[in-house]
Chain A
Amino acid sequence: MLQTLSTVLNNIKTKSKQEIYQLSNNLNNPDQTKHNMLHQVRPEVFNQILIFLDIQQILQFRLVSRRANETIKLMLPKQIHNLQYLIVEQQNEIQVKIQILEATKNPNQQQDLQAALNQISEIPRSRFVELKHYAQPPEIIEKVITLVCLATDSTFKIQKDNWKECQKRLGQGNFINSILYLDISILKEKQLKYLEQVNSYTEEQTASKSLVVRALLIFLKAVVELRKSNLYKMFDEITELEHKIRKKKQFIVNLEKINDN
């Protein structure tokens, strides 16, 4: 009898205050213990249920109760392993895509863009500054300059009346350089959607208004065409995969923190 009592006492000593409170609460409210399904189900069963959910939902279930939290903790190493496996798979996918890119790289694709850039570089800066002096430019000029500003700066806002902002940019010393050294791989989808509007204008329409704007229109058309080619589509896919990998790695770090707590 004494031995049994000492075993019970030892068991209680090893439990936290919260667990002791839970035990006493269960003893005082036997009905509640009996009816609460969370107490009836073995962790293995919950494990079988939770594998049908994705990791975000599994983590939400962690907050249901202490017991649920313990169950989830048991699952975390497996989930981390699965994520690591997915990362390896995506890294392999990136390698395959890079190899395809190398094999299918076509220098001719860049020729139109290079020609447009050469044309722009030959235009004297004063011709660009001239455009700035339009108080109310023809619609086509305003449109093309607005799109050039958007291409060179993703934060540029397309508004109803942003000619004043365009004028500011036209006056900036680095305006031409920002066109000549534009990295088209970083153009976002949203920017591209706006830039596609250039296809509704013809070179002839702009030629009658301004030769500078004509050159800029040719440049924008070349950018859109190149950016929509398979080469850049694959480039986008690689960027997206890299982004996913980064997110997964961060998620693994968070899961490990939960696991260690």
Chain B
Amino acid sequence: MKFNTQDGQAFEIADETLKYFTKVCKTNVETLNLTSINSRIMKKVVQYCEIHQEDDIIPEIQKPLLSNNLYEIVGFKDAEYITNLEFEELLHIIKAAELLGINTLVDLSCAQFAIKIRGKSPEQIKSYLSSKMHKTDEEFQRQRDGENMAKIQQMQSSD
């Protein structure tokens, strides 16, 4: 089955990997356009399915979590796959996995997200999820330029 991502990249998924795409694996569609998933996220999703290609069952993650160490909760390969991802990537993976029906990946990403916010104060969580944390220097400069321009325009109009 072929998937076209938001940024125009095509992914050919083999049947062994496709078994985890529960929402699309039983359809007869040959090509699917994923308008909300970009190629970077799709690569990660496919990577997850390939990791588990030979697994018959992926064990369910216990709720609520009993440890802050994901390596103690899930298998080593799952922990390795998910631990270093940022909040934004995790959210995109959750959305993509939901869309494609990869429930175990939804659970894994949600568990990692929960570990990241576990024990943090509301202020800390807010700062993790806010825009400032993810803006580049260039974006900050652009914002400052915009603000300066607005001030100049305001001064000119008042003159």
Contacts and interface: CB of A to CB of B under 8 A. Distances in A.
Interface string B87-103: 11001001100100000
Given A51-B63, A53-B114, A57-B119, A31 B143 contact: yes
Contact of A38 (B61, B106, B110, B129): B129
B91 A45 contact: yes
Interface in A1-56: 31-32, 34-38, 40-41, 45, 48-54
Given A51-B63, A51-B64, A53-B64, A45 B131 contact: no
B65 interface: yes
Given A45-B95, A52-B111, A61 B63 contact: no
B98 to A, nearest CB: 7
Contacts of A31: 131, 143
Contact-residue bracket for chain A: 20 to 34
Contacts of B65: 52-53
Contacts of A62: 122
Interface residues of B, number: 30
A41 B114 CA distance: 14
Nearest to B134: A35
A34 B134 CA distance: 11
Interface of A: 31-32, 34-38, 40-41, 45, 48-54, 57, 60-65
